[in-house]
Amino acid sequence: MALRGPFSRLLRAQLGHTGQQSRAQSVAVLGAPFSRGQKRAGVEHGPRVIRDAGLIERLSSLDYSVHDFGDLSFSHLEQDEPYMDVKFPRSVGGANQLLSGAVSRAVGAGHTLVMLGGDHSLAVGSVSGHARQCPDLGLIWVDAHADINTPMTSPSGNLHGQPVAFMLKELQDKMPGIPGFQWVKPFLSSRDLVYIGLRDVDPGEYHLLKDLGIQYFTMRDIDRLGIQRVMEVTLDHLLARKQRAIHLSFDIDAFDPSLAPATGTPVNGGLTYREGIYITEEIHNTGLLSAMDLVEVNPVLGASREAVEATASLAVDVIASSLGQTREGAHASADGIPAQKKDTEQLCL
């Protein structure tokens, strides 16, 4: 049962106060220039345009020690035939295995990890690598799409629409052995996941969301409840029982296409700038963000240079806000709560 009212706010304020004392003061930025989880070329250039929009300088201005580890180098197999209509399974699986190891090493070294995609199939590697260090993590998935198709339900076969299905323990019996993914073992329970911003959900995905009892908020829910209430319920759902590391997986198409036009699968009626930034501010205020993805920026699909720059600049704002860039009044309130120093590693037991 979700906590409500003043006790909920007090709990989150306390988590924010203690967590901000304990989370890493260094940020690792890792690029994953990969596009084979979907069919539109250009998303592999996402890490470059996000960096070019001033990401490293912005994060440095927030008093973090910023370590840019550059981009991973992915190999594309010449022979990578579809499997059950799943496209490029070996390439996608291998890329995610490489990414998983890199993310695990960065988080294990004490950094807060920022993964720049690339398409959203990369979340398999990013979240699984994080979970190797923090097996009890909670996942917040901000996206127009649920990305929980299985190979049997996917209308397209594109793996950027299936990453969550590889993670969930409850779907283990519904996932065939996809070539390239033998290394992946389900590690996440459905109760440890919350979606925000959904508005284009396939029929098979809808049934999975309902059958598994996954907490999700569509854009209609956001219209009805308001983004403040959505975030209260989200954080109560993930944190009411205990402190835990948070993984934020943010697809730029969660925003309305008027704000983020340079992306592969835009859907009208998305998040406003204020709603998107409020989500990331509230996640930062918990003090528990340990790793995040920013994916699906595709400069090739921007109709103009201004469209590409606007999308990349928005990506920088999302990342910076997740890591503490604030608007006036966005600071967590912890008046009267004593400081309680905790080790970072305690969140990842």
Closest CA to 115 of 51, 194, 42, 185: 51
Contacts 24+ apart (CB under 8 A), 269-275: 269/199, 269/219, 270/144, 270/197, 270/199, 270/219, 271/142, 271/197, 271/219, 271/222, 273/314, 273/317, 274/227, 275/222, 275/227
Closest CA to 178 of 89, 78, 87, 79: 89
Phi and psi of 301, rounded to 5°?
Answer: -90, 0
Structure-token match 């929009």, residue found: 53
* Residue 177 neighbours by CB distance under 10 Å: 7
Residue 269 is given by DSSP the state S
CA-CA distance, 155 to 25, in Å (whole number)? 42
Which residues are annotated as catalytic?
Answer: 120, 143, 145, 147, 160, 251, 253, 296
Phi and psi of 112, rounded to 5°?
Answer: -85, 125
Taking the CA atoms of 171, 173, 176 and 178 in sequence, report the sign of the dihedral they define.
Answer: positive
CB 322 within 8 A of CB 279: no
Phi and psi of 314, rounded to 5°?
Answer: -65, -40
Distances in Å between the alpha carbon of 298 and those of 53, 136, 137, 186, 260? 14, 32, 29, 29, 10
- Number of residues that make up the chain: 349
